[in-house]
Structure 1
Amino acid sequence: MNEENPSVETYIVVFVALLILAALTTGIAYINLGTLNTVVALAIAAVKMSLVGLFFMHLWYSRGLTRIVVLAGFFWLALMVLFTLADVFSRSWIKPPGP
């Protein structure tokens, strides 16, 4: 196991970046971008998730099997989201019975 840890300065920089991204998310919510609001909010959320995972969960400093397991988990999550969205978006293809 690698015992390398980030410095306090790294934690402070990541914390400030997370605060800025949270403020940016709030600010974007008040701007009408149409359907891009969701895309921008999800992109900002992905960056925040990456920062938390990489630095606060020490994935940046991990090696080998830990990175493989994390990448496999994200791949599995993406696959499940893809299948769920495929089901939701294909429901309009079949017209519901009724008058």
Structure 2
Amino acid sequence: MRQYLRISLVWLLLAALLGLTVLSSYVLTGPPGVLAGIVIATMKAVLVLWFFMNMREETPMVRLFSTAALFWLAALLLLTFSDYVTRGAV
């Protein structure tokens, strides 16, 4: 029963974050909206990884490699975004 309660609470939190995402897309525009979207998406991804993919029950080595993969993805996205921003208008 406790597991169902935990899953339900995480689901409700994800639904609330979804609502916050929709609300912020209407209220915030420009860079603050992008930043809010990224922060909310990161929170949702952490919840999914921790609870639904059971990272809290994995060994430290698996956690280390999953964290390293996320940092690698973040680095690639940052480099791609910086290339996109610094290009001149064509």
- State TM-score, norm by structure 1: 0.79
Alignment of 1:1-99 (within 5 A): 7-92=3-88
Q: Gaps (5+ residues) in structure 2?
A: none
C-alpha root-mean-square deviation of aligned residues, in Å?
Answer: 1.8
Q: Which runs of 4+ in 1 moved over 4 A?
A: none
Q: CA deviation at 1:33?
A: 4.1
Structure number with the bigger relative contact order (C-alpha 8 A, sep ≥ 6) is 1
Farther off after superposition, 31-40 or 13-22: 31-40
Give aligned-pair identity as a percent.
Answer: 28
Tell me the distance in 1 between the aligned counterparts of 2:28 and 2:79: 29
- Aligned residue pairs: how many? 89
- State TM-score, norm by structure 2: 0.86
Q: Gaps (5+ residues) in structure 1?
A: 1-5
